[in-house]
């Protein structure tokens, strides 16, 4: 394609800016962060979760999550005997203030923290009509608040219920895996606040990340595997009753 002089003059500055971004592979402008070096996931260890709700509170504080909506939440399960298909579940205020004592009769009881699964084949980004929700090259599913129309199709398409409609921004919103933190070498707010290490950020591309050893030695599940979303939220000891 032969460009005339005028066309070249118009294209050059735009191309220069774009090329900078491409070369940097580093949208955050943070020192030493290259997107292509990372592939983010999360490990949740059910055996360690105590349902304190610190993660829910920390997330709300770090990300200005509006009250009544949840980027992450904790559910409590009570599975009486063998009724694995009919658990009793509660999540008062998302578990933000912890949980009341609960039943003492027999059966299994445990906590399950939930959040965005940052799926590889996410149904949410598939259905967005304009590309306002998307995958970053380092494996995080994000929402572009300046571009989202607020049609809420992504909220309908998410099988895990992790999205909501932000009452002030009037766009879809959800867990960002604290993208502003992980690109600076910090961990997510929920992992920082978790007192027992039940939540651990995982960088699957980092060969030294403890998740690799963990995945090899533990029984790990994802939620709703039959939907083939490519979830990167791995659970240790997830009971079959968990929805």
Partner 1 sequence: MGEFKDIAHLIRLAGVFLLGLVLFLVVRSVTIPKSFGQYGPFRGAALVELSSRPLAFAGHEACEICHPDVAALKAKGVHKSINCESCHGPLSKHADDPGNFKPVLPDVAQLCIRCHSENIAKPAGFPQVNAKDHSSGQTCNTCHKPHSPSFDAGDKK
Partner 2 sequence: MEGFMYPNEVELQWSILIVLYPFLTGLVAGAFILASLERVFRVEEVKPTYRLALLTALAFLIVAPLPLQLHLGHPERSLEMYLTPHRASAMAMFGFVYLWYLMAVLVVEIWLDYRRDIVRLAESSRGLKGLLYRALTLGSYNISPAALRIDDRVGWIITLIGIPSAFLLHGYVGFIFGSVKANPWWSTPLMPVVFLFSAMVSGIALVLLMYMVTCAMRRVAIDMRCLDTIAKFLFYTFVIDFSLEMLDLIHRIYESDESFRSLDFMVHTRLFYSQILMQIFLGTLAPLALLSLTQLISFAAAARRRIYAISAVLTMVGIFAMRWNVVIGGQLFSKSFLGYTTYKVDFVTREGLLSAVALMILPFAILYVLIKILPPWQEEHPVVAEAHGDD
Q: Would you tell me which residues interact with partner 1 (CB under 8 A)?
A: 14, 17-18, 21-22, 27-30, 35, 47-54, 58, 61-63, 76-78, 97-99, 101-104, 109-111, 131-137, 142, 144-147, 176, 179-181, 183-184, 186-187, 189, 192-197
- State the Cα–Cα distance between residues 204 and 209, nearest whole angstrom: 7
Binding status of residue 7 toward partner 2 by CB under 8 A:
no
Query: Alpha carbon of 188 to those of 3, 76, 178: distances in Å?
Result: 47, 23, 5
Residue 194 Cβ, how far from partner 1 at the closest point, in Å? 7
How many whole angstroms separate alpha carbon 118 and alpha carbon 153? 17
Number of Cβ atoms within 10 Å of the Cβ of 210: 11
Does residue 176 interact with partner 2 by CB under 8 A? no
DSSP for 191-236, written as a single string: HHH-SSS-EEEEETT-TT-HHHHHHHHS-EE-S-GGG-----EEEE
**Nearest residue (CB) to partner 2, 40 versus 160:** 160
* Shorter beta-carbon distance to partner 2: residue 52 or 155: 155
Which residues in 23-129 belong to E strands, given as ranges? 40-45, 72-79, 88-90, 108-115
Minimal distance, residue 65 CB to partner 2, in Å: 11
**Residue 137 contact, options partner 1, partner 2, none, Cβ 5-8 Å cut-off depending on partner type:** partner 1
Cβ closest to partner 2, residue 211 vs residue 233: 233
Nearer of residues 148 and 233 to partner 2, judged by Cβ? 148
Q: State in angstroms the smallest separation of the CB of 175 from partner 1.
A: 12
């Amino acid at each position: 394609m032969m460009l005339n002089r005028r066309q070249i003059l118009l294209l050059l500055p735009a191309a220069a800016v774009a090329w900078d971004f491409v070369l940097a592979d580093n949208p955050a402008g943070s020192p030493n962060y290259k997107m292509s070096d990372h592939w983010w996931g999360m490990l949740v260890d059910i055996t360690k979760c105590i349902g304190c709700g610190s993660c829910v509170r920390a997330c709300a504080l770090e990300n200005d999550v509006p009250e009544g909506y949840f980027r992450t939440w904790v559910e409590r399960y009570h599975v009486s005997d063998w009724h694995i298909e009919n658990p009793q579940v509660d999540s008062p205020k998302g578990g933000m203030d912890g949980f009341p004592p609960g039943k003492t009769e027999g059966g299994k009881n445990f906590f399950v923290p939930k959040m965005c699964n940052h799926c590889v084949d996410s149904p949410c980004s598939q259905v967005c009509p304009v590309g306002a929700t998307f995958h970053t090259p380092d494996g995080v599913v994000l929402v572009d608040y300046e571009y989202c129309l607020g049609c809420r199709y992504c909220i309908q398409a998410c099988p895990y219920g992790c999205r909501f409609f932000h009452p002030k921004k009037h766009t879809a919103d959800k867990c960002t895996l604290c993208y502003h933190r992980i690109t600076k070498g910090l961990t997510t707010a929920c992992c920082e606040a978790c007192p027992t290490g039940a939540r651990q950020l995982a960088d699957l591309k980092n060969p030294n990340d403890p998740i690799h050893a963990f995945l090899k030695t533990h029984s790990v599940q994802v939620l709703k595997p039959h939907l083939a979303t490519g979830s990167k939220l791995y659970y240790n000891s997830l009971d079959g009753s968990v929805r």
